[in-house]
Structure 1
Amino acid sequence: MSYALITGAAKGIGKAIAAQLAERNYHLLLVDIDEKNLAATAEELSAQYHVHAHTLQQDLSHPDALEKVTDWSSTYHDALSVVVNNAGYGINGAFEQLSLAEQFNIIDVNIKAQVGLSYAFIPILRKFPKAYLLNLASTTAYQTVPYLNIYAATKAFALSFTRGLRHELRHSGISVSALSPGSTDTDFVNRARMGDYTRNIANRFNMTPESVAKIAIDGLFKGKAEIIPGFTNKLNAWLPKFFPKAFVEKIAAGIYEPKEKAPEVALIT
Structure 2
Amino acid sequence: MYALVTGASRGIGRAISLLLAQRGYDLLLVARSEDQLTALAQEIAQKHQRQAQLLALDLAAPGAADTVAAWALGHAEQLAVLVNNAGYGLWGRFEQLSLAEQQNMLQLNMALPVALTHALLPALHRAPKAYILNVSSTAAYQAVPSLSLYAASKAFLLSFSRGLRYELKASNVSVTCLCPGATTTAFADRAGMGAELQATANKVSMTPEAVAEAAVTGLLAGEAEIVPGVLNKVSAGLTSFVPKGIVEKIAAGIYEKYL
Aligned-pair CA distance for 1:241: 2.0
Structure 2, unpaired ranges of 5+: none
The match for 1:123 is: 122
Secondary structure at the counterpart of residue 205 of structure 1: coil
What letter corresponds to residue 250 of structure 2 in structure 1? I
What letter corresponds to residue 89 of structure 2 in structure 1? G
Count of equivalent residues: 259
The match for 1:61 is: 60
**Paired residues for 1:31-110 under 5 Å:** 31-110=30-109
Q: TM-score, normalised by structure 2?
A: 0.97
Contact 2:178 2:215 in 1 (8 A): yes
Aligned-pair CA distance for 1:258: 5.7
Q: Give deviations 1:27-84, integer Å, cap 9, x for gaps.
A: 1000001222122111222211111111101111111101210121122343110110
Q: Give deviations 1:157-202, integer Å, cap 9, x for gaps.
A: 0000000000000010001000000010111111011112221221
Contact 1:93 1:258 in 2 (8 A): no
Secondary structure at the counterpart of residue 239 of structure 2: helix
Q: Is it true that 1:197 corresponds to 2:187 in the alignment? A: no
Contact 2:88 2:191 in 1 (8 A): yes
What letter corresponds to residue 37 of structure 2 in structure 1? L
Aligned-pair CA distance for 1:95: 0.4
CA distance in 2, matches of 1:150, 1:58: 24
Stretch deviating more after TM superposition (70-79 or 16-25):
70-79
**Paired residues for 1:1-269 under 5 Å:** 2-257=1-256, 259=258
Q: TM-score, normalised by structure 1?
A: 0.94
What letter corresponds to residue 37 of structure 1 in structure 2? Q
CA distance in 1, matches of 2:55, 2:236: 34
Q: Give deviations 1:76-106, integer Å, cap 9, x for gaps.
A: 3431101100111001111011000010001
Aligned-pair CA distance for 1:123: 0.8
Give identity over the alignment, percent: 52
Q: Give deviations 1:3-29, integer Å, cap 9, x for gaps.
A: 100000000000000000000111100
What letter corresponds to residue 202 of structure 2 in structure 1? N
CA distance in 2, matches of 1:223, 1:30: 23
After the TM superposition, list the runs of 4 or more consecutive aligned residues in structure 1 that deviate by more than 2 angstroms: 75-78
Structure 1, unpaired ranges of 5+: 261-269
Aligned-pair CA distance for 1:114: 0.7
Contact 2:78 2:126 in 1 (8 A): no
